[in-house]
Structure 1
Amino acid sequence: MIKAAFFDVDGTLVNFKDRKISDSSKKAIKELRENGIKVFVASGRALFQIEDLVDFDGYITVNGCNCFVDEDNKLKEIYRVSLDKDDLFSLVDYLDKDRFLCSVITSKDIFINYIDDDVKKMYDENKIVIPESVNFREYINKNYEQILQLNIFVDENKESYLINNVLKDSKSSRWNPNFADVNSKHGGKEVGVNKIIEYYKIDLSEIIAFGDGGNDIGMIKTAGIGVAMGNANDSVKEVADYITDDVDNDGVCKALKHYGLIS
């Protein structure tokens, strides 16, 4: 019997056209909770970046590196792991030699290392507000313990080089062609899932998880039922138990009906 459902946000609950959650998904999640099934977000976003989409029982944020549960309408942090200090300082040194766009994310803020016309265009095309730019060396020196995630705006070859040579105690995942998420090796959405179900004493066989991007693969493989959206990457579909429709075609709702979790 399914006791908990985990949902990625971008490309799963929220579409890429207007960044909104569909009415059918809102109703489906409401019905899940009415049926006694706990519902959780599992996102690459930080908590402050997750708008009040609907009511949830908890949040897996920054790819499993910061997790929260709702207790009496108050969020309780149950897991946090920051990026490795040496990795962050190595990145700062590397950026002095080879500058590329990079952002640092904490539970409360996001900053980038520079802004130019190309950066403005990219953020505008994705309908996202441009973060404030800061001096990375100064910011990381003061705040390294709070940094939960990096976004590195590089191609896959450069991503691989950086993980193998600069960010050696970190791991990367990609759900957007423009950038990769970088987190602690002790993170991952599957880690967040395990922290949540351990807290609620739920078994892995009793959960269903939905996703569409590379950072969802571990979670989908871990869940008792892993669902890939119709718009998911092929690598996600390959590990899923079920492939549903696109985010824009009520994919979440259709999969929940397929498994008899909503009417």
Structure 2
Amino acid sequence: MKRSLFFDIDGTLVSFTNHKIPESAIYGLTLAKENGADIYIATGRPYGLINNIEEIKHLVDGYITANGAYCFSGKQVISCCPIPMDQVTSVIEQSDKMGFACMIVGEQDIMMYNNNPVADHIFKDMLNVQDLQESTSLQTILGQGILQLTPVVTPKEEQAILPLLSNVISSRWCPEFIDITAKGVDKAKGMKDMIAWQGIPLSQTVAFGDGGNDLPMIREAKIGVVMGNASQTVKAAADHVTNTVDDDGLYQALKYLKVI
């Protein structure tokens, strides 16, 4: 049976340790493509911050980005789901009031609002994103649809912010921040939008992930594969748990599923 494979990036395709795709994963994905599999990216990163999959970009059939808020294949935009602007301004007001940094992801631009050393460390050191586009003005980005907000907040601060909002959802795939998208917008929606546009039956979908934001996709896909570096909560949702990203987990999962 043909398989349509949906891959998270950080912690699934790419190591948090060296910010690279393991050679075994590159080899496995190449074989999967040769065997007729479709390959899709499903990430919390906006497309402009996808800087770590160059070795496999030629294999990718489509992208689910910003946790499902912006999905495309080639030059075809499949879905675009901005956050209501009153919710955006509410988060910005809380950023000013509470002093947290917040990445604002627009349809064209990205900016880090109220940047601070904590956000710098997370994005530049942990995620290897060096250009946070701090020169983009707030006025410029608020003239666009806002796809995602990423406040750098603790769980306690998150509990203070979310009751002030409506018509949004949040997910946390890194302990230091949350991603906020419009209500109902997550990786599962992105996957469903993608397969509907491509004419792919749900029965041939396999989703691979390791973070809390992967849970909707892991649960929705016919088969959900979770990496060994995931939390116990994420592993509990899996149909199959493989090794960590650094221990050839992706390659082993593709072998286990007989994709390669």
Contact 2:13 2:25 in 1 (8 A): yes
Indicate the residue corresponding to 1:159 in structure 2.
158
In structure 2, list runs of 5 or more residues that go unmatched.
Answer: none
CA distance in 2, matches of 1:17, 1:142: 37
Deviation of residue 239 (structure 1)? 0.6
Deviation of residue 131 (structure 1)? 1.3
Structure 1's 68 and 141: CA in aligned 2 closer, same or farther, altered over 3 A? closer
Indicate the residue corresponding to 1:150 in structure 2.
149
Deviation of residue 137 (structure 1)? 5.4
CA distance in 2, matches of 1:184, 1:67: 14
Deviation of residue 121 (structure 1)? 4.0
Give the letter aligned to residue 160 of structure 2: Y
Deviations 1:219-254 (A, max 9, x none): 000011100000012111011000000000110110
Deviation of residue 24 (structure 1)? 1.2
CA distance in 2, matches of 1:134, 1:87: 23
Residue 133 in structure 1 maps to residue 134 in structure 2: yes
Give the letter aligned to residue 150 of structure 1: L
In structure 1, list runs of 5 or more residues that go unmatched.
Answer: none
Indicate the residue corresponding to 1:207 in structure 2.
205
Contact 2:94 2:161 in 1 (8 A): no
CA distance in 2, matches of 1:156, 1:117: 19
Deviations 1:72-131 (A, max 9, x none): xxx311110111111012223333432211110134432112234444444443233151
1:98-247 counterparts in 2 under 5 A?
Answer: 98-126=98-126, 127-133=128-134, 138-139=139-140, 141-143=142-144, 145=145, 147-165=146-164, 167-247=165-245
Indicate the residue corresponding to 2:70 in structure 1.
66
- Aligned mate of 2:61, from 44, 47, 57: 57
Give the letter aligned to residue 77 of structure 2: E
Deviations 1:28-73 (A, max 9, x none): 1111111111110000011122232412011111111111123xxx
Give the letter aligned to residue 176 of structure 1: C
- Percent of paired sites with the same residue: 36
Deviation of residue 197 (structure 1)? 1.0
TM-score normalised by structure 2 residue count: 0.91
1:22-101 counterparts in 2 under 5 A?
Answer: 22-51=22-51, 52-54=54-56, 55-70=59-74, 75-101=75-101
Contact 2:109 2:141 in 1 (8 A): no
Contact 2:206 2:225 in 1 (8 A): yes
Structure 1's 157 and 116: CA in aligned 2 closer, same or farther, altered over 3 A? closer
Contact 2:110 2:141 in 1 (8 A): no
Structure 1's 105 and 195: CA in aligned 2 closer, same or farther, altered over 3 A? same
CA distance in 2, matches of 1:118, 1:48: 21
CA distance in 2, matches of 1:35, 1:60: 23
Give the letter aligned to residue 160 of structure 1: Q
Indicate the residue corresponding to 2:18 in structure 1.
18
Q: How many residues align?
A: 255
Contact 2:40 2:61 in 1 (8 A): yes
Structure 1's 117 and 223: CA in aligned 2 closer, same or farther, altered over 3 A? closer
CA distance in 1, matches of 2:9, 2:123: 18
Deviation of residue 187 (structure 1)? 1.1
SS at match of 1:216: helix
TM-score normalised by structure 1 residue count: 0.90
* Runs of 4 or more consecutive aligned structure 1 residues displaced over 6 Å after TM superposition: none
SS at match of 1:183: strand
Give the letter aligned to residue 220 of structure 1: I
CA distance in 2, matches of 1:38, 1:185: 28
CA distance in 2, matches of 1:172, 1:48: 21
